[in-house]
Amino acid sequence: MSSASSPSVPKDEIIYVEAKDLPLYCPGPHAPLWSMHPRVYIEVVKTGQTLCPYCGAKYQLKDGEKVLGH
């Protein structure tokens, strides 16, 4: 994933994702063990941005990203 790999990102920071990162899930594959919570898939295509219901991480689709098949 581009920068969607750590739910330990400060709460004010936005994690930008690309079409290649989809399907998007939290916590990401490189998240530290202490920050783990149940894996949830995050819908970011419809609105362009969303929050993780567990940790509150903010995800946003990068400007200009073309998501095929959605």
pLDDT at 44 over 60: yes
pLDDT band at 11 (very low <50, low <70, confident <90, very high): low
| Distance separating alpha carbons of residues 46 and 28, to the nearest angstrom | 20
Tokens encoding 25: 């899930």
Of 4, 50, 1, nearest in space to 26 by CA: 4
* Percent of the chain topping pLDDT 90: 60
Tokens encoding 11: 């709460």
Residue 5 CA: distances (Å) to CA of 8, 12, 15, 35, 59:
9, 16, 9, 11, 11
**pLDDT tens for residues 15-39?**
999 999 999 999 988 888 988 999 9
Of 1, 23, 26, nearest in space to 69 by CA: 23
